[in-house]
Structure 1
């Protein structure tokens, strides 16, 4: 699929948090075909063979069949992430129903883990469709991710958890929301190199990216830059891998992922 005659198909998340990772990849000379979609949709497309490489939710990496993490570029956080939140209408220990943003899978699993392990709650789950109005949802708690977590509608919340902050304070480890993953049989060395160059270029141009993107998301340039620089983390290093593996252990414990999966970082190490 990704030989010289046919460009590989690469899928990236359409949210604001991806912009530094795809810096400069949309030009005419891009080495692959790049498309954008919601994280959950990208995971489905990769699984169906409609994409060769995709930035998918971390939980989907552990659910996939012989998937490989191909770069050290990722979407993670070292503290508050701002764009992944649970809004509680009742105190966390009293939550009986949880609405999950349909675009989320890693964050949905993280919400279940934090509620079960920190406050001993395993609520009934409801879907919150993309494009739906949170005010029409009657669940005790609502998980929102991405752009609509940054600008949530008015809601009477007694407590709000920033899931990045909650995880880091609880475990002492970073959290990794998404990684660049390839399905089996795809040659990825050139793709991985280009994706890491894009991330590195994005990090060098955060202010310019923030200035360009901020108006599209009803943010000031300063807010957008702070989001990129302070809330997000784009490198999968040893601590991030430890955080990813801790997350996997909790996911297995709650039956959210199969046991016996060992993260494959070979391509990631070779590419770097």
Structure 2
């Protein structure tokens, strides 16, 4: 394990998955970065395993394998992935996509196409840019900044987890631990599942430690980690992944 390079994410929603990871894997190099950047590093061979957007697994399925049943998913509203629209959603013509995650970028396009037949013109939203300064009709936000949108600017706000689950009747998986084929991941899989299980046992501690830095009360932070998120990749989650892959492929969003 001393040469293993692991890419992890520093978002609030990943805290239960990386609980004690440095202690559990003392010989591994653990790098924290944005999900999209980790995906690029994994594809470039700079990492052996990473917590990356689910869509990236499908884009490079011949090279990758799912390492663990620890994941970031939802079975209803997720709170931290939102579509903010200045116009009624059926009137959206331009859409800015948060560059932090590629799974959510494909998800919002699938939902807009399925529910309203929309294919909006796409624009980037850089990580350090304020969504309130954009001229697009709508913007996709993920992560911590999606949890506190500016009030008064938007006519409609979609929680994409809620929209997906209501439409598909299946959970949605945002990110998974993915490894490069040809590496023995069995020991790592046990370690990652242990981290997840330990994190689930310490949700109150995590909420207390991280609420303030994310602009949340402790009770709201605990609710987010315990009620809005789901951290196990089960049979229904895999069915949701397959439906997502199918719909995204139809829109040409899976090709690498």
Considering the TM-score relative to the shorter chain, is it more than 0.5?
A: yes
Q: 1:29 to 1:186 in 2, by over 3 A?
A: closer
CA offset at residue 184 of structure 1? Answer: 2.0
Give matches, 1:220-231, under 5 Å: 220-231=217-228
Asked whether the 8 Å contact 2:144–2:214 carries over to 1, the reply is: yes
2: CA distance between counterparts of 1:26 and 1:151?
Answer: 31
Is structure 2 residue 99 aligned with structure 1 residue 102? yes
Is structure 2 residue 132 aligned with structure 1 residue 138? no
2: CA distance between counterparts of 1:154 and 1:185?
Answer: 49
Of residues 182, 186, 189, the one that matches 1:189 is 186
Give matches, 1:27-176, under 5 Å: 27=23, 30-64=26-60, 65-176=62-173
CA offset at residue 152 of structure 1? Answer: 2.4
1: CA distance between counterparts of 2:89 and 2:250?
Answer: 21
| Secondary structure of 2:213 counterpart | helix
Q: Runs ≥4 in structure 1, deviation > 4 angstroms?
A: none
CA offset at residue 108 of structure 1? Answer: 0.2
Q: Where does residue 232 of structure 2 map in the other structure? A: 235
| Secondary structure of 1:109 counterpart | helix
Q: Where does residue 177 of structure 1 map in the other structure? A: 174
Unaligned runs of 5+ in 2: none
Q: 1:167 to 1:225 in 2, by over 3 A?
A: same
23-32 or 170-179: bigger deviation? 23-32
Q: Where does residue 16 of structure 2 map in the other structure? A: 20
2: CA distance between counterparts of 1:239 and 1:31?
Answer: 34
1: CA distance between counterparts of 2:32 and 2:148?
Answer: 21
Asked whether the 8 Å contact 1:98–1:139 carries over to 2, the reply is: yes
Q: 1:28 to 1:106 in 2, by over 3 A?
A: closer
1: CA distance between counterparts of 2:217 and 2:102?
Answer: 29
Q: 1:24 to 1:171 in 2, by over 3 A?
A: same
Asked whether the 8 Å contact 1:78–1:232 carries over to 2, the reply is: yes
Asked whether the 8 Å contact 1:31–1:191 carries over to 2, the reply is: no
| Secondary structure of 2:101 counterpart | coil
63-72 or 51-60: bigger deviation? 63-72
Asked whether the 8 Å contact 2:71–2:231 carries over to 1, the reply is: yes
| Secondary structure of 1:60 counterpart | helix
Q: 1:117 to 1:216 in 2, by over 3 A?
A: same
CA offset at residue 232 of structure 1? Answer: 0.3
Q: TM-score, normalised by structure 1?
A: 0.91
CA offset at residue 10 of structure 1? Answer: 0.5
Q: Where does residue 195 of structure 2 map in the other structure? A: 198
CA offset at residue 181 of structure 1? Answer: 0.3
206-215 or 163-172: bigger deviation? 206-215
2: CA distance between counterparts of 1:254 and 1:157?
Answer: 27
Which deviations, in whole Å up to 9, do the C-alpha atoms of 1:36-63 show, x marking residues without a partner? 1111001000000111000000000001
Q: 1:28 to 1:257 in 2, by over 3 A?
A: closer
| Secondary structure of 1:30 counterpart | coil
